């Protein structure tokens, strides 16, 4: 009995304001407020809430009710986004709570600030995941069992860390370096820990919705729920699980309401359930329901990003490398201070979006990279980030300078 597994990613970064060299060392607000483009962030979040989070979540609530337990899905909401929603849009948070209470929706764990702490800073990575686990538990009353890394990052080393933290299900990209000719529509085990099961994103079917839905040049256009369900049903003989993973913003923001994306989403569960063999399951349920049918051995890093399916969009050029190195070099100094403001600021600066804005790969993925990018160029992004980091480093050093190692 094949499962269809839907998971939506929710993340909005705390973008930085223009911070010029004149602002470095100047008096001003403490903590992250010093660097944050608060108004812009509030405005963008409100727009995304109105165009996507609110209508899409209302729709999913209706679908859960209508299908009486047969429609199921999952969310991963980053800690930064959850915190902002709780303050500015509590009704949206309530809608997610109602979904959680239905028992049909699973909430996943990741790094609280949507960071690349793995692979840069393993200890900090653990802390960020633990904090996210607590935040999700507090918000939705459930302990998460499934982990997804920032940008669906996956590797053997990550499996080890995640298993140590107690997770038994992980999500990854169903890409060739992992599959080596095998089907993404199975449950896989890992080469490093027999307890961990992995679900792989079916990127073709996922991107049919997320990227191609409104593409008039695409042979699948126009995509109806019946047509899409037909494609899924065609996998009945072979597939154990079809994993459709995408950004939640697909609904109403990447694909505007005018494209018919909400009608598509509304009709999809009914169309898929027309075939008696198919059912919806959350990642934890789907991973349990099917046997492990192969082992994934992944010494390098695989992500869901770009054609390369790697981290080059975040750490592929010298600017990104410099920014990341300078930021994570502060780890010990920041932790030693035990100052909540400094720690929180340091973590918000780790949010992967800051480095994504510095990406210089102008390929077919360029359009995606421009999306939501507040900077005119990757050079502006880097220069601005380094101004902030210089100021922040001064603040860390100035706070309890007796903790500094003597310089030789």
In the list 81, 150, 317, 350, the residue contacting another protein (rule: CB under 8 A) is 317
Selected range binding another protein among 22-30, 33-41, 62-70, 262-270, rule: CB under 8 A: 22-30
Instruction: Please spell the DSSP secondary structure of 133-146, one letter per residue.
Output: HHHHHHHHS----E
> Rule CB under 8 A: is residue 25 a binding residue for another protein?
yes
HEC per residue, 220-287: CCCCCHHHHHHHHHCCCCCCCEEEEEEEHHHEECCEEHHHCHHHHHHHHHHHHHCCCCCEECCHHHHH
What Å distances lie between residue 247 and 1, 77, 278, 318, CA to CA?
A: 27, 10, 23, 28
For residues 158 and 348, which CB has a smaller minimum distance to another protein in the complex? 348
User: Position of tokens 């459709």?
Assistant: 244
In the list 284, 387, 395, 396, the residue contacting another protein (rule: CB under 8 A) is 387
Minimum distance of another protein from residue 321's CB (angstroms): 7
φ/ψ bin of 362: left (φ > 0), alpha (ψ from -120 to 50), beta (otherwise): beta
251 neighbors 210 (Cβ within 8 angstroms): no
In the list 241, 386, 395, 396, the residue contacting another protein (rule: CB under 8 A) is 386
How far is residue 14's CA from residue 348's CA, in Å, rounded to a whole number? 7
> Rule CB under 8 A: is residue 308 a binding residue for another protein?
no
Tell me the site size for another protein, rule CB under 8 A. Answer: 27
Minimum distance of another protein from residue 112's CB (angstroms): 25
Binding to another protein (CB under 8 A) within 222-241 occurs at none
Minimum distance of another protein from residue 403's CB (angstroms): 18
Strands 73-77 and 105-107: parallel
For residues 218 and 379, which CB has a smaller minimum distance to another protein in the complex? 379
Instruction: Say which of 151, 173, 249, 285 is annotated catalytic.
Output: 151
Binding to another protein (CB under 8 A) within 325-344 occurs at 325-326
Torsion angle (degrees, nearest 10) of CA 341, 344, 349, 350:
150
In the list 68, 277, 376, 408, the residue contacting another protein (rule: CB under 8 A) is 376
**What are φ and ψ of residue 256, in 5° steps?**
-65, 160
For residues 228 and 385, which CB has a smaller minimum distance to another protein in the complex? 385
How far is residue 183's CA from residue 175's CA, in Å, rounded to a whole number? 10
151 is catalytic: yes
Selected range binding another protein among 17-25, 163-171, 259-267, 283-291, rule: CB under 8 A: 17-25
> Rule CB under 8 A: is residue 43 a binding residue for another protein?
no
> Rule CB under 8 A: is residue 40 a binding residue for another protein?
no
> Rule CB under 8 A: is residue 274 a binding residue for another protein?
no
In the list 134, 193, 288, 322, the residue contacting another protein (rule: CB under 8 A) is 322
> Rule CB under 8 A: is residue 123 a binding residue for another protein?
no
For residues 292 and 399, which CB has a smaller minimum distance to another protein in the complex? 399
CA atoms within 13 A on the CB side of 165: 31
Strands 197-201 and 3-10: unpaired
What Å distances lie between residue 47 and 55, 273, 337, CA to CA?
A: 12, 33, 37
For residues 277 and 376, which CB has a smaller minimum distance to another protein in the complex? 376
Minimum distance of another protein from residue 48's CB (angstroms): 20
In the list 96, 389, 395, 396, the residue contacting another protein (rule: CB under 8 A) is 389
The count of other CB atoms within 10 Å of the CB of residue 181 is: 5
Strand ranges, E, within 22-129: 73-77, 105-107
For residues 50 and 390, which CB has a smaller minimum distance to another protein in the complex? 390
> Rule CB under 8 A: is residue 324 a binding residue for another protein?
no
How far is residue 325's CA from residue 382's CA, in Å, rounded to a whole number? 13
The token duo for 389 is 């980091």
Minimum distance of another protein from residue 25's CB (angstroms): 6
> Rule CB under 8 A: is residue 83 a binding residue for another protein?
no
Residues within the interface to another protein (CB under 8 A) = 18, 20-22, 24-25, 317-319, 321-323, 325-326, 375-377, 379-380, 382-383, 386-387, 389-390, 393, 407
Residues with catalytic function? 151
């Amino acid at each position: 009995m094949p499962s269809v597994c839907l998971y939506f990613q929710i993340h909005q970064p705390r973008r930085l304001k223009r911070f010029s060299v004149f602002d470095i060392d100047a008096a001003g607000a403490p903590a992250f407020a010093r660097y944050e483009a608060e108004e812009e962030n509030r405005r963008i979040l409100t727009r995304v809430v109105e165009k996507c989070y609110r209508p899409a979540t209302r729709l999913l609530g209706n679908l859960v009710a209508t299908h009486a337990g047969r429609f199921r899905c999952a969310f991963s909401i980053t800690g930064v986004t959850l915190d902002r929603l709780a303050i500015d849009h509590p009704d949206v948070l309530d809608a997610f709570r109602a979904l959680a209470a239905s028992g049909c929706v699973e909430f996943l764990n990741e790094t609280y600030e949507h960071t690349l702490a793995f692979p840069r800073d393993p200890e900090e990575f653990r802390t960020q995941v633990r904090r996210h686990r607590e935040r999700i538990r507090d918000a939705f009353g459930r302990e998460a069992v499934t982990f997804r890394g920032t940008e669906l990052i996956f590797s053997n080393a990550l499996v080890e860390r995640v298993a140590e933290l107690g997770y038994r299900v992980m999500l990854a990209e169903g890409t060739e370096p992992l599959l080596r000719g095998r089907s993404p529509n199975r449950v896989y085990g890992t080469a490093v820990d027999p307890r961990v099961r992995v679900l792989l994103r079916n990127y073709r079917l996922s991107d049919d919705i997320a990227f191609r839905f409104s593409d008039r040049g695409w042979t699948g256009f126009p995509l109806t729920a019946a047509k899409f369900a037909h494609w899924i049903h065609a996998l009945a003989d072979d597939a154990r699980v079809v994993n459709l993973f995408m950004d939640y913003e697909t609904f109403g923001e990447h694909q505007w309401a005018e494209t018919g994306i909400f009608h598509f989403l509304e009709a999809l569960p009914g169309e898929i359930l027309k075939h008696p063999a198919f059912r919806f399951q959350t990642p934890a349920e789907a991973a349990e329901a099917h046997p492990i049918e192969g082992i994934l051995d992944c010494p390098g890093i695989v992500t869901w990003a770009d054609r390369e399916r790697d981290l080059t969009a975040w750490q592929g050029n010298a600017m990104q490398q410099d920014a990341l190195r300078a930021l994570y070099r502060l780890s010990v100094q920041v932790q030693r201070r035990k100052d909540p403001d400094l720690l929180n600021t340091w973590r918000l600066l780790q949010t992967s979006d800051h480095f994504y804005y510095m990406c210089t790969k102008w390929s077919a993925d360029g359009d995606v990279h421009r999306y939501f990018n507040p900077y005119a160029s990757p050079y502006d992004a880097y220069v601005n980030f380094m101004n902030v980091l210089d100021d922040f480093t001064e603040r860390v050093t100035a706070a309890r300078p007796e903790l500094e190692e003597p310089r030789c």
